[in-house]
Structure 1
């Protein structure tokens, strides 16, 4: 990089820092709602895995590129198309940002090694909020750090509350609500696993920040909080899966942020063999959908945690669900593309495609269009399907892609972004 450019960048960084520290305000006019783009792991606070953008039924590969290391968390996309992804490389680069239109790298930042597993969320000003080893961080659109707040563990769940704060949950169960402006704690920290007893364990040391993260992808017992919390922004209630040490069954827990504190409202031990599926909330907030490692999709009444119905999927759901109206589409690399319809006190299979072996997370868009990556032999292909029938309406190969994918995201202009676990990005754009 030419020296003149370095000098100008430093000046810009200093100006940004002065603006943040000298011109603060209590008025927050930057939106955090679901909007367009892909602001969180499963698009929105509810973890709906669905976009309000009308999806195209004719896509074409625009560009692809490797990021230099594996990918273990979904790509988040800002309202202007700026993309964010973490990896692990032999250099200091861990957090990458790319431009949607060109695929050019905008910046890469050093972070802790466990940032590859961390959650992230983007607000309407393209500010990024992302976890790493022992901390929750905020960066602006240029990659300049805004603040860092220490936490115990790694924030695997990052969401926005209804009043525009950042909700951070680590794999150890530490819950914090942080100001997006400053990173200050808005309420006292809440520990889902309880506080250790210093009298009974006087020599107890804090575990390494990255402990147990390698089991989060399969919902193993060493990762107590493996999934992204679903948030009801209207009520302040949020839902987490918790596997407490020594317990035989994981729990679904409802908590509420309000009245300057976080409190637990109910818990239900229902997740047999754990869960690697982030819970997803129905649009009206009355039903929560969650999966467990006993192959079940479970519909839960959010008022008290009682089970409305269960359905054996025949494979363990992984990652999350895509929900639009009464249609639930699960993910899981051991399964195939199918849709379940919620009938209130029971469910039915709306349609199924046993010919499409899932290699990623299906998503839905407005207009009744969905996208998923499936394997045809050794080839990974992005399938565009009709969500009412499951019928294929388009297919596009991921050239040279291998293995499986970490996630599928939808941009503000209907672009479809696919990230493979081995570390490649594929961006498809609507054909004119």
Structure 2
């Protein structure tokens, strides 16, 4: 009877459930944009009285968000300088839990974390999984470098590399669930036998801006319930980048199929697509300053709104439909609502220069980084604002922070975490 009870517990612990709550770290920030929809939101009630808790230099530039497990354990990748480029820290005090050396491409991949605090992160030519102590669980080779991954509704890992290879891996073993699917036209080695094989790190330096040298620059958005997912692609020789809709069909014979491709992103996109709460609309920005709403079923553009600036990150989309685009050069803070055939401004803050990526929490509270002070090299500050009106609630200077921040994440106890592009991590509580 004892052996039977132990076996039952072990099997239950090893099983992968079918719902997000079984897969994701509820209460943390488990993916680059928080969840499968890339919503950049949290169900935690946001604090309106933040203050600096700690900061620490990472030692090299950071290009992506910090992710946070339900336990509060932090994970962040950096550009390799010959040493560690995957780091884990304790939320309470900033103490380093572990660091690991991956290929330099890891800087373009945000770790994602599951409910057991196993993480999944890409580097040059592979997808890797580590446990919470930094021990390698598995590594699977692929073509290119995976940009930040997602979890599928059946508990697997969906990965898209910057060279356009789409894979689905088992969380437990790293085995492929489906054959690799390519978003790019295959090279014609019969026509050109001497055609070189693309290096796994090719074009990664252009991914931050979403330009043509990086075919797939952003994180896919997925609806776990239906398996539909969406990604930006700039195909070889194309005049403009595309938004592509695909479906991962699970079951006994899982498949990946392309549903549509819309050539609607002139100049490319530095924005991962975001899904509306009902999964019917995809929001994405192009590099000419437009926010677009696209029908998820057909790929047809519903409307386009000229923001007046080019976001250097993704939009935060709340469950009640408030859309807050990311900051960028000369960007201000603005919130919009989708009325079906057009976007309407909910509120606008022309007095602020937004230099970060917004995140929305429960309790009508939002966070983003803004310019603080004047001059050629102003300080950065974490702005706490009311999402219903845009009004400032609180503002906290990030000591000695310069340039841009590359993401805003919300922890399980309402902590707010942001790394700067030059490589420093700030935590407010």
How does the TM-score come out when normalised to structure 1?
0.92
1:23-422 → structure 2 map (5 Å cutoff) = 27-28=15-16, 31-33=22-24, 35-258=26-249, 259-324=253-318, 325-334=320-329, 335-376=331-372, 377=374, 378-422=378-422
Which 5+ residue runs of structure 1 have no aligned equivalent? 1-21
Spell out, residue by residue over 1:153-185, the C-alpha distance to the aligned partner (whole angstroms, 9 max, x if none).
Answer: 110130000111000000000000000000000
Unaligned runs of 5+ in 2: 1-9
Give the SS at the match of 2:217: coil
Q: How many angstroms does 1:254 deviate by? A: 0.4
**Corresponding residue of 1:9:** none
Distance 1:319 1:32 in 2: 25
Shift of 1:24: 12
How far, CA to CA, are the matches of 1:89 and 1:253 in structure 2?
Answer: 31
Q: Which residue pairs with 1:18 in the alignment?
A: none
Tell me the residue number matched to 1:3: none
Shift of residue 307, structure 1, vs aligned partner: 0.9
Q: Deviations over 1:398-423 (max 9, x none)?
A: 01111110111000000000111111
Q: Deviations over 1:206-231 (max 9, x none)?
A: 21111111111111101000111100
The answer to whether the Cα contact below 8 Å between 1:221 and 1:274 also exists between their aligned partners in 2 is yes
**2:4 aligned residue:** none
The SS at the match of 1:47 is coil
Q: In structure 2, how many angstroms separate the alpha carbons of the residues matched to 1:106 and 1:157? A: 22
Cα RMSD after superposing both structures: 1.6
| SS at structure 1 position matched to 2:409 | strand
Greater fraction of residues in strand:
1
Alpha-carbon separation, structure 2, partners of 1:196 and 1:399:
49
Alpha-carbon shift at residue 204 of structure 1 (Å): 2.3
Q: In structure 2, how many angstroms separate the alpha carbons of the residues matched to 1:276 and 1:82?
A: 28
1:95-148 Cα deviation digits (max 9, x unpaired): 110000010000010111111112321101111100001100000000000000
Q: Secondary structure at the match of 2:351?
A: strand
Alignment: residue pair count: 408
- State the Cα distance separating 1:91 from its structure 2 match: 4.2
Tell me the equivalent position of 1:16. none
Q: C-alpha distance in 1, partners of 2:219/2:384?
A: 26
Partners of 2:112 and 2:148 within 8 A in 1: no
Distance 1:157 1:69 in 2: 19
SS in 2 for 1:31: helix
SS in 1 for 2:361: strand
Q: SS in structure 2 opposite 1:59?
A: coil
Note closer, same or farther for the CA distance 1:62–1:25 as it changes in structure 2 (3 Å cut): closer
